[in-house]
Structure 1
Amino acid sequence: MRKIAVVAAGGTGGHLFPAQALAETLIARGWRIVLASDERVAAFAESFPAEERIGLSARTFRPGDPLGMAAAGLAMVQGVMQARSAFRRIGPDVVVGFGGYPSVPGLLAGITMGLPTVIHEQNAVMGRANRRLANHVRTIACAFPRLQKAPPKAAARAVVVGNPVRREIGELADKPYLPPEPEGTLRVLVTGGSQGARLLSELVPEAIRALPEGLRVRLRVQQQTRKESMDVARRIYADAMVEAEIAPFFRDMATRLRQAHLVIGRSGAGTVCEFAIAGRPSILVPLAIALDDDQGQNAQVMADAGGAVIARENQLTVESMANALEKLLTNPDRLARMSVGARSISRPDAAERLADLVEQTAQGRPAR
């Protein structure tokens, strides 16, 4: 009979995308997949390759909110009992968690039932859910060599596997980066606007308009932009004589990444790993309100490797973004070096590495 892996994930695409990449890899190896998440995610994750989806009670709370904490605790207890009941019926061989509060009931059920358990941390800073469970699971996998705020014993046994990415992104690993030709077209890709990055939606067009005309006329910009900012962005680019494609979402991101000379975006774990695998130089703008500055630390890993320039929100202006763009776009040799730096931290086989760890854990073998 085929082995069964319960994948406990949810909350955001940052958790679900690597979970889906692992699921697809395990399915190719003959495994059966069950998705365990909160009721909301289990209902809408129709594209997740699971033969069964289990909706579990789970909720988060704000620190300092005693009523919220009590409600979250009750929901978590209910979710664990639901998961234990489902696991007795399913008989999973391993439970794999990807962080976020929706993953906690499934992982706690696996831990209390003595099942083999694995957590994967996507960020350079261990998230709060994983942090609380790290000392109780059998195997810990992480995306970056740097893993901050993890319990010391957990950090010492963490195995660096990388961050599993979508198959089409992984295929960019062996595609060469071609820096712009002198006086040739300059292709800039701006991501993240559809996910609430108002700053990028509104500031980047203004910064590009501030560039010298000789540079602007060479630009081809593709920008994900908030719907309410699209008309303004189009007018700014038209006024600046810049050819631009504006949309709230790009489905063919792999193709656009491959064509880009420079990318601008937030620094969530998935974004950083995708830029690294594609070997694309980047300007990263960490989300200032991110818990534990996880986006800032993700960006720092890329910057330390020479693959990115970091633009902190509290220091970012139209002028500073324009200066950063001009320095990079007029220096193709630096862009080429940044591409090499970005690729130096990439692990395009992360899904396979993580699948290996999951199988080792399910078999009771020590993680390698």
Structure 2
Amino acid sequence: MTSPSRVCVVAAGGTGGHMFPAQALAKVMASRGWKVILATDKRGQKYAQDFPAQKVVPLHAATGTGPVGMIKAGFAIIKGVAQASTTFKNIGCDVVVGFGGYPSAPALTAALATRRATVIHEQNAVLGKTNRFLAASVDYVAAAFPNVGRAPKSVADAIHVVGNPVRPDIRALFDRAYKAPKDNGPIRILVTGGSQGARILSEETPKALAALPADIRSRLVVSQQARFENIATAKKIYAEAGIQAEVEQFFDDMAKRLSDAHLVIGRAGASTCSELAVAAMPSVLVPLKIATDDHQTLNAAVLVDAGAARRIAEDDFSAAALVDVLAPILAEPKTLQSMSDAARGVAIVDAAERLADLAEAAAAARYG
């Protein structure tokens, strides 16, 4: 058991995509006897209530565009670095683990300036700006996917692929057996699109499912997350096609819906791709084309290349294109089963533990 006096600062903020993996790491570090401190920005504080940290340290951080915006962001980060340095001096800090995004910059910069152990974790298949800027200076660079883009040459060959920590209820799905649809039995489809729903999926997916051959369409049971303005139309399309469907803006029981589903249609965010792998779930992915550095396409590549998913570029996505992909998959249960097996094969179920091992290794190398 690690000494309780050891302090791990988890630097994350902004979005759930950064905060959820950070929370998973914090739980593991706390279970190993570390004192966990969360360093975050104003947006990250809304996730702090359930975060397993003994202390939450709000830091100034910002990003900006244009000369004025960049100057303001620079002053905010400088202030955040000073705050982090004071915190480290007062409460100690053995290792800082940053999860990317500008909210992680002040704590990591302060740690580097005071020669403390540092680790960064990249959730996407492309290093984000903050992680790209700091990668050559930190002790270890950890990544969720093996195909890491935009990595500095000096660290490209030394990246540790640890996976993306997923929520415990999703992780538990790895231990259950995927069951392909039975002959003439229901085919359960889960349609997601991020926390706000994706317009293109909200609009085109109901049309596609309604256009499937009658023998497939009659067996469909659909759970669809949709934008509020698209819900009524989607429900109408499903009703007219005789498809049993539940359409809502948000589902708060995603683990159960994943467990029940036979196929997922959705975007290719880092958390989504990692959860699909751990849940051994076949999928059709439509990467967000405006994602920075096209990182969603690269996120999806791990599943697509393994045979676990089919990918449709957003510019090519339509109801007809989706029908062309779905029809042969849903007509053959063996295809769904093989896709599930492929997803399971690329899953990294112990990502949080692997990242915790790396954080402890960084601290041990620095302090012995």
TM-score scaled to structure 2, two decimals?
Answer: 0.96
| Counterpart check, 1:290 vs 2:299 | no
User: Does structure 1 conserve the Cα–Cα contact (< 8 Å) formed by 2:37 and 2:55?
Assistant: yes
User: Does structure 1 conserve the Cα–Cα contact (< 8 Å) formed by 2:142 and 2:159?
Assistant: yes
**Offset of 1:201 from its aligned partner?**
1.4
Report the 3-state secondary structure (helix = DSSP H, G, I; strand = E; otherwise coil) of the residue aligned with 2:252: coil
Whole-Å separation in 1 of the counterparts to 2:18 and 2:47: 14
| Counterpart check, 1:11 vs 2:18 | no
Letter in 2 for 1:258: S
Letter in 1 for 2:53: A
1:122-141 CA deviation, whole Å, 9 max, x = no partner? 11111111000001101111
| Counterpart check, 1:28 vs 2:31 | yes
Corresponding residue for 2:73?
72
User: Does structure 2 conserve the Cα–Cα contact (< 8 Å) formed by 1:193 and 1:248?
Assistant: no
Corresponding residue for 1:45?
48
Corresponding residue for 2:57?
54
Whole-Å separation in 2 of the counterparts to 1:299 and 1:270: 11
Corresponding residue for 1:131?
132
Report the 3-state secondary structure (helix = DSSP H, G, I; strand = E; otherwise coil) of the residue aligned with 1:87: helix
Whole-Å separation in 2 of the counterparts to 1:147 and 1:160: 9
1:317-368 CA deviation, whole Å, 9 max, x = no partner? 11101221212111211111111111121110111111111111111179xx
User: Does structure 1 conserve the Cα–Cα contact (< 8 Å) formed by 2:117 and 2:366?
Assistant: no
User: Does structure 1 conserve the Cα–Cα contact (< 8 Å) formed by 2:15 and 2:43?
Assistant: no
1:203-249 CA deviation, whole Å, 9 max, x = no partner? 11111111122211100001111222211211111111111111222
Corresponding residue for 1:229?
230
Structure 1 residues 87 and 365: alpha-carbon distance in aligned structure 2, compared to 1, 3 A threshold:
closer
Whole-Å separation in 2 of the counterparts to 1:26 and 1:228: 42
User: Does structure 1 conserve the Cα–Cα contact (< 8 Å) formed by 2:178 and 2:280?
Assistant: yes
Letter in 2 for 1:212: P
Corresponding residue for 1:277?
278
Q: Which moved more, 1:271-280 or 1:250-259?
A: 250-259
Whole-Å separation in 2 of the counterparts to 1:74 and 1:254: 42
Report the 3-state secondary structure (helix = DSSP H, G, I; strand = E; otherwise coil) of the residue aligned with 1:2: coil
Matches within 5 A, 1:325-340: 325-340=326-341
Letter in 2 for 1:21: A
1:24-67 CA deviation, whole Å, 9 max, x = no partner? 111111112111111232245322121211111111123xx111
Whole-Å separation in 2 of the counterparts to 1:352 and 1:100: 22
**Offset of 1:196 from its aligned partner?**
4.2
**Offset of 1:18 from its aligned partner?**
0.6
Q: Which runs of 5 or more structure 1 residues have no equivalent in the other structure?
A: none
Whole-Å separation in 2 of the counterparts to 1:198 and 1:78: 39
Corresponding residue for 2:343?
342
Corresponding residue for 1:117?
118
Corresponding residue for 2:193?
192
User: Does structure 2 conserve the Cα–Cα contact (< 8 Å) formed by 1:23 and 1:49?
Assistant: yes
Whole-Å separation in 1 of the counterparts to 2:88 and 2:195: 37
**Offset of 1:195 from its aligned partner?**
2.4
User: Does structure 1 conserve the Cα–Cα contact (< 8 Å) formed by 2:197 and 2:225?
Assistant: no
Report the 3-state secondary structure (helix = DSSP H, G, I; strand = E; otherwise coil) of the residue aligned with 2:136: helix
Whole-Å separation in 1 of the counterparts to 2:198 and 2:97: 30
User: Does structure 1 conserve the Cα–Cα contact (< 8 Å) formed by 2:194 and 2:267?
Assistant: no
Letter in 1 for 2:308: G
Corresponding residue for 1:144?
145
Corresponding residue for 2:160?
159
Structure 1 residues 199 and 210: alpha-carbon distance in aligned structure 2, compared to 1, 3 A threshold:
same
User: Does structure 1 conserve the Cα–Cα contact (< 8 Å) formed by 2:112 and 2:118?
Assistant: yes
**Offset of 1:165 from its aligned partner?**
0.6
Corresponding residue for 2:365?
364
Letter in 2 for 1:344: G
Letter in 2 for 1:31: W
Structure 1 residues 128 and 362: alpha-carbon distance in aligned structure 2, compared to 1, 3 A threshold:
same
User: Does structure 2 conserve the Cα–Cα contact (< 8 Å) formed by 1:110 and 1:116?
Assistant: yes
Whole-Å separation in 2 of the counterparts to 1:208 and 1:90: 56
Whole-Å separation in 1 of the counterparts to 2:364 and 2:61: 30
Whole-Å separation in 1 of the counterparts to 2:250 and 2:5: 38
**Offset of 1:11 from its aligned partner?**
1.8
Whole-Å separation in 2 of the counterparts to 1:207 and 1:10: 37
Letter in 2 for 1:12: T
Task: Give the aligned length.
Answer: 364
Structure 1 residues 133 and 17: alpha-carbon distance in aligned structure 2, compared to 1, 3 A threshold:
same
Whole-Å separation in 2 of the counterparts to 1:117 and 1:298: 25
| Counterpart check, 1:85 vs 2:83 | no
